[in-house]
Structure 1
Amino acid sequence: MSAVTKLSYLGFNVADFSQWNTILFDILGLEVRKDSPAGQTQLRMDSQHHRFTFFESDHNSTAYIGWEVDNIDQFNALYQHLQTMGIGVELASDSEKEARQVLELMKFRGPDNVAMEVCFAPFKDNQPYEPSCTRFGGFVTGDQGLGHILYCHSDMKEALAFYRDALGMRISDYIHWDEARATFLHCNPRHHTLAICNPCFGTGAGELNHFMVQAENIDDVGQAYDRVAELDVPLVLTLGKHTNDKMTSFYMITPSGFAIEYGFGGAEIHNDAEWEVALYNAPKIWGHNLVG
């Protein structure tokens, strides 16, 4: 079956990029591309040309989600598959491919009209990633992609069918707690590249709740957690450990209102036939206390 294989990049519209400096550079250590186009700031976290693009805007919103496939045959098959399903998929123009710095690109809308793209062969930079703050290691990317995202959707049944049938994702497990009903899906060894949830805890339908980036070294997370306190960066959840993916992480609130999870040690799924899909009644083993 045609399927995406990783989360490749994310785009955001921001009213004031300067408000992001502390989180992106002092805490996460991302690198600004000095050749970012006018009106944009492109950020690196590994060998890929860029993983994040922030667009100057008069409002804050998610501009797009960029998925990835591993080869041109997968790209062509997925394009035909989405067409057959009646999804309004379009092949991108040369200028759009150049803007994303990818060889091939398609665009379409997901559940609740979320803007999505699928690329093949994002360009690799011949210069190493240079972190903007002290790090003990890099980020876990490679065949696991950028990290993961959590979106809220108005119709969970419809959304789950889209991500499974259109994009080929596979269920990892579920967590039901308080008012939340979350489903976790994977498309590579990362426990989940996508989580979907009913609108809850202030996140509306079609809105991003958070994205996650994963450190190679627990000390990077610990050091970042110290800097959060020193620099008075607002938290959503304190340091803690999840029940399902066993990630040790904390959540920061961004100027756009969604959160960034920064963690270490997430579980991996290497064999779907041996993986046990479970239902959890809480998202945490310890910590992850709500702030505010």
Structure 2
Amino acid sequence: MRTRPDIFGAARLGYLVVESRRLTDWNRFGADAIGLHVDELTRDVLRFRLDDRQCRFLIQHGRAEDVTATGWEIDDHDTFDEVLRRVTAAGLPVTEGGGEQAALRGVERLWRFPGPKGVATEIFTRAHTTTAPLRMRNTAFVTGASGMGHVAITTTRPERLHTYWNNLLDLRLSDRITERIGPAKLKIRFLRSGQRHHSVALANVAGLRIDPIRTSVQHVNIEVAGLDDLLAAFHRVTDLGFAMAWSIGQHTNDRELSFYCVTPSGFELEIGWNPVLVTPELEATWEPSHYEGISIWGHTVVGDQVATLMSRFQGVVRSLRDREETVPALSSLPRGARR
């Protein structure tokens, strides 16, 4: 019987694909508010850079107003083939991204298959870099071996999504948080792929299979290298009239200082600074903890408008009506098992 290798640490979040009709707003949001490097490839395609990679965000014209794919960088061809073996063994359809698709993402080898909540999972082995100078308002972003940041997803089936990421990339549980929102309890689990505290966060309403979020991804996180950059971005977002979702605060589990603003497509972007790293020394003895409350201080709600509340109500109605896509081939748990 073939022993399945543990590929923890050999994959990281490399890029995100977003579909939107609001490219002009995205250009202004990315360049002027957040302070990213923006390349306008065509009238229908934008790319954002954080570092020497050609692409970290690919914004394409379309109707979704959502993240439509996550791109995961795999360290080597053997691990790449192992991930593909897991996907094909589960019977999932796998397609190779064509030359143009790979070029837009700034990668060499690209394959795509279904992911939770309709967001495609893409894997690649090598990203193309560029020596073109960065035109950014920020000094630098933290990427490298930890990847570009993390994605947070609200779900009605947290165990299934947890299993999907475990079966696919051997992500490990960092910790859990319980956050009380009025009479409801929000349960959040944080999964890491390497030294970054988490690359995927999964949130669900305890005891209720409802999802109040319209978008497939609730928020995306990127990390600035300096506190001054965090504060400057916060003021630019506010001064330029983009919506702020949560004010500056500090998280209980990874100790990251951050704020959350609303992207032109409606999901949130978290700008963070100085989170805990799970170094090899910490990894050797790491045990998941449980925290009551998501923040030590701050992260207060900012300007929750009627339109936002209506959107969340519509999301709850939709989640009660529609079945959430969990990719059962990779996310099924043994009978009676729970995470």
Normalising by structure 2, report the TM-score.
0.80
Secondary structure of residue in 2 paired with 1:163 = helix
Q: Is the 8 A contact 2:195 2:277 kept in 1?
A: yes
Once the two structures are overlaid, the 10-residue window that deviates more, 176-185 or 88-97, is 88-97
1:249 equivalent to 2:258? Answer yes
* Alignment-derived partner of residue 229 in structure 1: 238
Unaligned 5+ segments in structure 1 are none
Alpha-carbon displacement from aligned partner over 1:185-244 (angstroms, at most 9, x marks no partner): 11121111110112667315x711000110100010011222233223211100000001
- Superposition map of 1:200-239 within 5 A: 202-204=212-214, 207-239=216-248
Partner amino acid, structure 1, of 2:286: W
Deviation by residue 1:73-115 (Cα, 9 ceiling, x = unmatched): 2111211122123332333333332332211111011223321
| Identity of matched residues, % | 28
Report if aligned partners of 1:247, 1:266 keep a CA contact under 8 Å in 2.
yes
Q: 1:5, CA displacement in angstroms?
A: 1.5
1:151 aligns with 2:160: no
**Bigger Cα displacement from structure 2, 191-200 vs 157-166:** 191-200
- Among 159, 162, 181, the alignment partner of 1:160 is 162
Q: Which is further off, 223-232 or 236-245?
A: 223-232
Cα distance change on mapping 1:96 and 1:224 into 2, 3 Å = closer
2:30–2:36 contact (8 Å) kept in structure 1: yes
Q: What's 1:191 paired with?
A: 197
SS of match in other structure, 1:208: coil
> Cα distance, 1:59 vs. partner?
4.3
Residue 282 of structure 1, CA deviation: 0.3
CA drift of 1:167 comes to 2.0
Q: Which residue of the other structure, out of 16, 20, 23, is the alignment partner of 1:17?
A: 23
Alpha carbons 2:171, 2:191 under 8 Å: kept? yes
Q: CA deviation at 1:62?
A: 1.8
Residue identity matched to 1:138: A
SS of the residue 1:261 aligns to:
strand
More helix by share: 2
Q: 1:72 & 1:115 partners in 2: Cα distance?
A: 21
Q: Matched residue of 1:260: which SS? A: strand
The AA in structure 2 aligned to 1:211 is: V
| TM-aligned CA deviation for residue 20 of structure 1 | 2.4
Larger radius of gyration: 2
User: Is the 8 Å Cα contact of residues 150 and 211 (structure 1) preserved in structure 2?
Assistant: yes
The secondary structure found in structure 2 opposite 1:73 is: helix
Counterpart Cα distance in 1 of 2:239 and 2:117? 39
Greater Cα shift, 276-285 or 82-91? 82-91
**1:39 to 2:39 alignment:** no
Q: Higher strand fraction: Structure 1 or Structure 2?
A: 1
Separation in 2 of the partners of 1:223 and 1:38?
A: 29
Between the two proteins, the alignment pairs up a number of residues equal to 287
**Mapped partners of 1:228, 1:58: distance in 2:** 24
2:127 aligned residue (112, 122, 131)? 122
Which residue of structure 2 lines up, in the alignment, with residue 180 of structure 1?
Answer: 186
User: Counterpart in 2 of 1:276?
Assistant: 287
Please state whether the residue corresponding to 2:212 is helix, strand or coil: coil
Amino acid at match of 1:254: T
**Contact preservation (8 Å) 1:69, 1:119:** yes
- On the 8 A contact 2:27/2:38 being kept in 1, the answer is no
DSSP-derived class of the 1:166 partner: helix
**Consecutive unaligned residues in structure 2, runs of 5 or more:** 1-5, 305-339
Equivalent pair of 1:240/1:250 in contact (CA under 8 Å): yes
